[in-house]
Amino acid sequence: MTEQRIALVTGANKGIGYEIVAQLAERGMTVLLGARDDKRREQAVTALREAGHGNVHGVALDVTDPATVRAAAATVEERFGRLDVLVNNAGISGGLDQAPSSVDPAVFRAVFDVNVIGVLTVTNAMLPLLRRSGAPRIVNMSSGVGSLAAMSDPDGPLAQMPPSAAYVPSKTALNSLTVQYAKELGKDGVLVNAADPGWVATDFTDHRAPRTPRQGAAIVVRLATLGADGPTGGFFNDDGPVPW
């Protein structure tokens, strides 16, 4: 894994995604910063380059729009011929009122469209390019709330979290999808894992969390740079495996 590696990070114009791009670039990778908003994407790329990361490039990518996903894959193929790392970071919360008895089905669909179906769409579009890599890695941005064990523990730290019928189940579904990809792609040498960044101060949490985006990005970067003997089909935070 000494050659310059090519990585794509979705939803990366701010927050943890931005820091993932920065840390992968620090490790010498060429990083494609995927984001749907043209202005914010280019602002992020400019800021990263001014910080010394000249190997960062913007790619128009809306995970809910298959046309932009196909176009992004075509761009990667034309410019680089392969992809070594895919980080499915794009995600939405769906807002605060997600009690199962009152959640708007439209919110449920929108959250799953980005957080689960978007991952499927992007991953499948990039798989032909990942299969050309000598050491392909896929990392899906999950959350500790996606752990059924943690959410059902009456004495655990998540016990007081309000019920969520959209965001939380979307991350549980993403974890399951991660396992299924790992099962299918193991024969191709693709390591596929889910990452729990912890409670991070971003727009997602209204910046009311103890961890920085840089700290939250660390586990993703670790999984994105696993050696050939690394795990696959797992769910990890900074301390190790997270209970399903």
Which residues are tagged catalytic? 167, 171
SS3 state at 133: coil
Whether the CA torsion 185, 186, 188, 189 is positive or negative: it is positive
Return the residue matching tokens 């500790």. 144
User: Hey, what's the torsion of the CAs at 127, 130, 135, 141, to 10 degrees?
Assistant: -60
Of the candidates 215, 223, 19, 27, the residue with the CA atom closest to the CA atom of residue 137? 223
Neighbours of 46 (CB within 10 A): 12
Distance CA 128, CA 86 (A): 12
- Beta pairing, strands 191-195 & 235-237: parallel
Chain centroid, CA 147 distance in Å: 16
> Is residue 166 within 8 Å of residue 112, measured between CB atoms?
yes
Q: How far, in whole angstroms, is CA 106 from its chain's centroid?
A: 23
Positive or negative, the CA dihedral 239, 21, 25, 194 is positive
